[in-house]
Structure 1
Amino acid sequence: MSKYWQKVKKRKSYCVASALCLVLICLELVFYPLDTYNGVGIVSSILYATALMTMPFHPLPSALMLLANNVLWSIVPIGVFDVSDYAGVWYALVVLGVTGGTWVAIGGTSVLCIAFYINAFPQEGRLTLGMISLSFFYAFFCLLGLSIRWHTQSLKAKAQQDALRRENDYQAERLKLLHQLHDSLAGDLSYAVMRCRRFAAIAADNPIQASDIHEIEIIVAKALDNLRNDVLTPVRESLQIDSINHLAVTRKDTDNVNASVQRFMQRLNSIGMKGSAYIDEQIPPLSSETRILIDNILIELANNIIKHSNRQSYAMNIRSNKDSNIEIFVSNTYHPRTSPEGQTKHGMGLQLLKQTVEKHGGHVGINCEDGEWAVSITLRT
């Protein structure tokens, strides 16, 4: 029972409308007592009142019942003297539009108009203004119900979009914090790997000490890969946010490609590497999304160079090809202990980068030959 009352509380407007129609019935009975109606009219009036009373509980079935009652006694060739049901019919048409949908409301209104003309036209012998006016009212209340339905649906859709946007913002903030933690730890671990390589070079005359340092380097490098593989990627997948959205919240949008290149060079130069960068002046105007993607690409490439290079030299070239796509080429000499096979089996960072680039229609190529590690990336603009 409480379930029905919960429905009634949510449908206060239905209760008010049904109550008004029932009040009109009572007022009509004051002026026209029951003995003025015939048996068929009393049955029709009872069905009409029943439909009004059940409308707050079961709107659509009650509205269909009320309209069916009107249609039935309109087309049956029997004199029916019952209470006036105009207000109830208009109310039912609104309910039909709100709860039944477009085609149900249009179909119900059409059947109602056809039944009305079947009943009224033989009596009048012609199309009268009253018949047209009543048809207009039927159509008006049907459209009123549909407009209420469409407005309600638009409000629900907007509320769902707002809720989804808030959820995405919350997830993006979580991912932003995760990236900040990852960048901090990855930077420290990368620095530890570099220090191990430096001490290994210093301790080259002591095989035992050099071996221990190399073992520490391997452990730290593995920890760095595990951080990306076991922490960042699972959380990224659980949040289910597009990679470009990740970039938008974790990397500041650069004003132009030059700013990204300058940061790339500063990072490598700060660890003693020497290199050059060339940027084609014919690069077309880029969207904010593409600039963010390029910025993230250069950051990830710098991370891999710091991890695997021998800190000697690097080169970078960014240009526009004949299809107006962006081509990025980065190369560096790699660490002697890292074999070409190990370089081609790139880490988790480059795998994520490769997935992101390919998702946006680009291509990533990786090559390691004659002591030089090279990455070529093509981005569609």
Structure 2
Amino acid sequence: MAKNLRDVAEHVRAMGESIEFVDVLASCVGVLYTVLSLRWFSTDAFVGAYAHLQWLLMAVRIALYLALPFIPVAIAYAICAFNLAAFAVPMPGNGMEYVGTCYALALLAWRGSRKRACACLCVVLVGSVAITLLKSEGYVPDRLSWLVGLAPYCIALFCGLVVREWQDLLVRRRLAEREVAYREKQLRMVHTLHDSVANTLSYAVLLCRSRQGGNDEQVERLLEQALKALRSDVIAPAANRTDDDGQAVGTPVETLMPDADRDDNRSYADDVRAVLKETNDRLAVLGFAGESILIDRGGNPSRQWSQFVCGIVRELGSNIAKHAAPGDYALTVVADAERTTIMSSNECDDGRLPKEEEHDEVLSSRFGLNDLLNAVHNVGGTAEWCREGNEWSIAIELPRAEV
């Protein structure tokens, strides 16, 4: 017995959660209209003879309107059928009830089956015409009377179809936005894979090519960094399923960020310094002599700023390692409150052996720098590069507020 009561309570609770406000409003309007219709359409000549029938029709209509919010589609069919049957009752002054039938047809077109809603409309139209002709005793109303009497049903069905199409359009738009957000997330993962993993592996390949001995430990460290970045920045975020808001289920959004577990008091500029030092150490192992430095002139850098600048530094450092001649280079980041300037220069490597040129496709996808320049332009930045003699240089300027 207790289990049955719990089941009933759960059913009632679920039914209450699915109640639409518009159904409640229509129910109140229908009940009020039914009560007032007794005063509007009843006369003293026949109120006594048909009083019991009028009270019965009113009671059934009120019962249907009260049940409308709980099972709207089924009650909509019942309202159409009942109003049509009540119209056929040979009672003086009894007319078709427009309010309930119109809302029922609109509701069926909105939340029910389109085909069944159109079939219900046809039944209401044909039934209304047939009953009107039978009651008129040979008198045929003119076309305007037919139009005024039957047009509200068609308009109500059309309004329901319009609302349904509008809601379907909103749903499709939301699904399209989720698809775009998903693709953007996948694109960010691909960029992370290229910027972090591919560049790190490029350093490892260059170390293996170099004729210097004793680089096994450095190569092993680089491969470990690539695997760690692959697991934390690509595989882990991809493994999280997204809910309707595009956030990971059971995983805070902050955990998907590479630097989310860092101390909050640590400056985001320290991340840029760390990447510059990492780039400097890697180039030093490959035989480059130079310095990668950050000149911080104030401002309040954000997480997005540090991630964007770190990505640019990694890409520029990787390009130096892959395409420059071992020797002097410079990589400088100047940050102030208004803008950030990133400058890089190095000597060009024009003396590669043909055998080494065959392997250039392995190290360069020919998309890294292009993607980098597109990203700079997307945030309102500028990039200029040139080659003077045997020296290649590039200068990137970012508006701090837009990054």
TM-score class, shorter: 0.5 to 0.7
- Counterpart Cα distance in 2 of 1:188 and 1:268: 8
Match of 1:107 in 2: 119
User: Do the aligned partners of residues 265 and 313 (structure 1) sit closer, same or farther apart at CA in structure 2, a change above 3 Å counting?
Assistant: farther
For 2:353, the aligned partner's letter is: Q
Match of 1:65 in 2: 78
1:25/1:83 contact within 8 Å kept: no
For 1:119, the aligned partner's letter is: I
Post-superposition CA distance 1:238-272 (Å, at most 9, x none): 589xxxxxxxxxxxxxxxxxxxxxxx999765358
3-state secondary structure, aligned to 2:354 = strand
1:313/1:333 contact within 8 Å kept: no
Partner residue of 2:68 out of 38, 55, 58: 55
Post-superposition CA distance 1:151-204 (Å, at most 9, x none): 111122212222332333334334433432213422332232233xx025xxxx
3-state secondary structure, aligned to 1:199 = coil
Partner residue of 1:332 out of 342, 358, 374: 358
Q: Does 1:177 align with 2:188?
A: no
Q: How many residues align?
A: 250
Match of 2:207 in 1: 192
Any residues of structure 2 matched to 1:201-216 within 5 Å, and which? none
1:193/1:220 contact within 8 Å kept: no
- Counterpart Cα distance in 1 of 2:215 and 2:323: 25
Deviation of 1:59 (Å): 1.3
- Counterpart Cα distance in 2 of 1:154 and 1:224: 46
Q: Does 1:16 align with 2:25?
A: yes
1:189/1:221 contact within 8 Å kept: yes
Partner residue of 1:162 out of 177, 192, 205: 177
Q: TM-score, normalised by structure 2?
A: 0.50
Partner residue of 1:137 out of 125, 136, 152: 152
Q: Does 1:46 align with 2:55?
A: no
Match of 1:324 in 2: none
- Counterpart Cα distance in 2 of 1:230 and 1:170: 16
User: Do the aligned partners of residues 173 and 332 (structure 1) sit closer, same or farther apart at CA in structure 2, a change above 3 Å counting?
Assistant: closer
2:207/2:215 contact within 8 Å kept: no
Q: Does 1:4 align with 2:15?
A: yes
Match of 2:133 in 1: 121
User: Do the aligned partners of residues 37 and 92 (structure 1) sit closer, same or farther apart at CA in structure 2, a change above 3 Å counting?
Assistant: farther
Q: TM-score, normalised by structure 1?
A: 0.52
Percentage identity across aligned positions?
A: 13
Partner residue of 1:312 out of 350, 353, 359: 353
- Counterpart Cα distance in 1 of 2:49 and 2:187: 72
Post-superposition CA distance 1:279-330 (Å, at most 9, x none): xxxxxxxxxxxxxxxxxxxxxxxxxxxxxxxx62159xxxxxxxxxxxxxxx
Deviation of 1:127 (Å): 4.9
Deviation of 1:58 (Å): 1.6
3-state secondary structure, aligned to 2:358 = strand
3-state secondary structure, aligned to 2:353 = strand
Deviation of 1:63 (Å): 0.6
Partner residue of 2:98 out of 78, 86, 94: 86
Long gaps (5+) in structure 1: 201-212, 241-263, 273-310, 316-330, 335-345, 351-381
Match of 1:296 in 2: none
3-state secondary structure, aligned to 2:140 = coil
For 1:165, the aligned partner's letter is: V
Post-superposition CA distance 1:31-77 (Å, at most 9, x none): 53874636555444333222211222221111110001123345x6x
- Counterpart Cα distance in 1 of 2:86 and 2:54: 9
Post-superposition CA distance 1:108-149 (Å, at most 9, x none): 111100111111123254352322322211111110111111
- Counterpart Cα distance in 2 of 1:269 and 1:178: 20
Any residues of structure 2 matched to 1:355-366 within 5 Å, and which? none
- Counterpart Cα distance in 2 of 1:88 and 1:97: 14
For 1:155, the aligned partner's letter is: L
2:204/2:222 contact within 8 Å kept: yes
- Counterpart Cα distance in 2 of 1:93 and 1:101: 11
User: Do the aligned partners of residues 236 and 22 (structure 1) sit closer, same or farther apart at CA in structure 2, a change above 3 Å counting?
Assistant: closer
User: Do the aligned partners of residues 313 and 235 (structure 1) sit closer, same or farther apart at CA in structure 2, a change above 3 Å counting?
Assistant: farther
2:23/2:69 contact within 8 Å kept: yes
- Counterpart Cα distance in 1 of 2:203 and 2:35: 84
- Counterpart Cα distance in 1 of 2:18 and 2:233: 46
1:98/1:146 contact within 8 Å kept: yes
Structure that is richer in helix per residue: 1
Q: Does 1:270 align with 2:270?
A: no
